[in-house]
Chains A and B, each alone.
Chain A
Amino acid sequence: MRAGELLALLGPSGSGKTTLLRIIAGLDFPDRGRIIFGGDDATRVPVQQRAVGFVFQHYALFKHLTVADNIAYGLNARRRSERPEKAEIKRRVGNLLDLIKLSGFADRYPSQLSGGQRQRIALARALAVEPRVLLLDEPFGALDAQVRKDLRRWLREIHDRTGQTTIFVTHDQDEALELSDRVAVLDRGRLEQVGTPDEVQEKPVSPLVLKFLGDTIEVEAIAQDGKVLVNGRTTPLTAPAGLTGPVKLYARPWQLQFAEADTAHLHGTVRSSYRTQGRQRIEVDRENAKTVVVEASDTARLAQGRPVGLRIVGGWVFP
């Protein structure tokens, strides 16, 4: 974790994302391993002294306090000697309300606000204590699709402006890839890969990372002399050094192209097709093999049952 970066913890449900986040916050404790904050071991530091800002999936705003009092809570909770002056607290709350674009809402109660507004308040409340690291637990999970998109963009802007070191948990690949500087992919409590969105997409370290980041096609292949062959025809892929024999080739739907039978790696018949956002997705049934999904530009519809050949133009083979 680098200072000032926006890191996404991505993984299927049950992979330990939230647990990891809670351990970083000090709300849960690790069985082994340590938590290091800027060189200091924080494993045994109690939650109050960790200086983290935590944003919960379901906001966890204080229902009985106004928006302004919610944001000021962390400052008011400090010991008198460390507590800022009343006017100073008021000024800071005002600044944060400006930042989250809810300036007129200081005297409202959380129940009078929409989900998106509540989550912004929760973020302002966490930022008010000037945390060393901001932790967001599926911050947009409880919001509907449109609000979620707006908030994503908005969070990115806030991060760019404040440079606040931030970790957020999500199970939504798009969210992680769009928002973060780096993505950490978790599975069953293990860290699979950490890298920039480009790195994890272009060079996934395992089939699991690959599968989790999007639709994946699996094809039986043979590795031979540094080449990968499917149905006896070479593909553009190079096999990792020393790998020979049967392997699995993984590809994205757009890494398959329709081709004439004499150059195709795979053969099958069209089962169904549908259009989505200017692209066409076609399911192709293969004899004695798994159905594959092909993504192509939105041209003429292919009739159901039509025989087609597919050519592999990209993909991955893992040792």
Chain B
Amino acid sequence: MSEAIAHGPASLPSPNPSPAPRDAALRPRSVVTEAGWVRAVLIGVALAFLALFLVLPLITVFAQALAKGWGAYLSAFTEPDARSAIRLTLTVAAIAVPFNLVFGVAAAWAIAKFEFRGKNLLVTLIDLPFSVSPVVSGLIYVLVFGSNGLFGAFLIQHDIQVIFAIPGIVLATIFVTFPFVARQLIPLMQEQGTSEEEAALTLGASGWHAFWTVTLPNIRWGLLYSVLLCNARAMGEFGAVSVVSGHIRGLTNTLPLHVEILYNEYNFVAAFAVASLLAGLALVTLAIKSFLEWRYADDIAAGARRH
């Protein structure tokens, strides 16, 4: 034993440690890491790409909006058409988001906690709005509720206006934002299983009580996260809304549609000013989303992996 130590100076702390840089050079690098220049190139490409396609446009939006100073920027919002567009967008989001919240929780609850026939079909259907082009989603509603559509005659008879009115915009928005809440919650609830609910039931809680005191608290951060994304999409949706809206100024124009109209009229400052509002919404959403992801990573992880 003592011999081994005498012959193995490498295993003992050396009285004169060799200079650190030599050690670092000799140490083999991790097998999953690349050489320095490869990393630099990869990171550089990614950053350049981001700058060109994301940061630059974002800066352009704000730069163009402020091209003629604050006065012109602010006057874009005081204009009655702009105000009505903001109001309409908020109204649509205020109806569509709660609707999808309730539907999403109900669907996720049903899919994650129960076994029933047609479950896979339901999951597939929930995904449908993600895979269908928004324009097609809008057209579907025109075909169903338009004057020549399936219920057209009935609606005209009863003087109910769906297409080219707020109900159509709300319907199209609901359709497009359908999957956000359900898609986020299904994996989360599946992962959590049913044992806590069962425990609550054996302790005498009713199903309703168990839902409010056990299920909902367990999904609250995932729910907030998904509502945030759902809201951002509801306010920003263009394609589907554009088809059903009819672009009636001051009546059926949402913010994204208003931007398009202003832009087509060469009113760049106003167009970019309104666009900056949407961009700001996106940035705020991103900030809250990042905060939630950082703070409550575990609670939303199961669902976030899918996005």
Contacts and interface: CB of A to CB of B under 8 A. Distances in A.
Interface of A: 25-27, 47-54, 56, 58, 60-64, 73-74, 77-78, 122, 125-126, 128-129
Contacts of B199: 54, 56, 60-62, 122, 125
Contacts of A26: 202
Contacts of A27: 198, 201-202
Interface stretch (B89-97, B203-211, B268-276): B203-211
Contacts of B217: 62, 64
Interface string B257-296: 0000000000000000000000000000000000000000
Contacts of A128: 203
A277 to B, nearest CB: 34
25 contacts: A26-B202, A27-B198, A47-B201, A49-B204, A50-B202, A53-B202, A53-B203, A54-B198, A54-B199, A56-B195, A60-B195, A60-B198, A61-B199, A62-B217, A63-B196, A64-B218, A73-B205, A73-B213, A74-B203, A77-B204, A77-B205, A78-B204, A125-B199, A128-B203, A129-B203
A53 B201 CA distance: 10
A224 to B, nearest CB: 56
Given A63-B218, A64-B217, A73 B202 contact: no
B198 A129 contact: no
B165 interface: no
Contacts of A77: 200, 203-206, 209, 213
A124 to B, nearest CB: 12
Contact of B200 (A51, A53, A64, A73): A73
Chain B interface: which size bin?
Answer: 10 to 19
B206 A48 contact: yes
Nearest to A77: B205
Contacts of A47: 201-202
Given A27-B201, A49-B204, A53-B203, 13 more contacts: A47-B201, A48-B201, A48-B206, A50-B202, A54-B198, A56-B198, A62-B200, A63-B196, A73-B200, A77-B203, A122-B199, A125-B199, A129-B204
Contacts of A64: 217-218
A128 B195 CA distance: 18
B202 A62 contact: no
Contacts of A61: 196, 199
Contacts, number: 64
B188 to A, nearest CB: 13
Contacts of B204: 48-49, 51, 74, 77-78, 129
B47 interface: no
Nearest to B209: A77
A265 B231 CA distance: 83
Interface string B205-226: 1100100011001100000000
Given A62-B214, A73-B213, A77-B209, A125 B203 contact: yes
Contacts of A49: 204
A98 to B, nearest CB: 20
By Cβ-Cβ distance, the 9 closest A-B pairs, closest first, are A74-B203, A77-B205, A60-B195, A54-B202, A60-B199, A64-B217, A47-B201, A48-B204, A60-B196
Nearest to A49: B204
A131 to B, nearest CB: 8
Contacts of A54: 198-199, 202
A27 B195 CA distance: 10
A26 B214 CA distance: 19
Contacts of B196: 60-63
Contacts of A78: 204
User: Which of A54, A128, A129 is the most central at the interface, judged by chain B CB atoms within 10 Å of its CB?
Assistant: A54
Contacts of B213: 62, 73, 77
Contact of A25 (B202, B209, B214): B202
Nearest to A46: B201
Nearest to B199: A60
B218 to A, nearest CB: 7
Nearest to B197: A60
A21 B128 CA distance: 41
Contacts of B218: 63-64
Nearest to B220: A64
B192 to A, nearest CB: 9
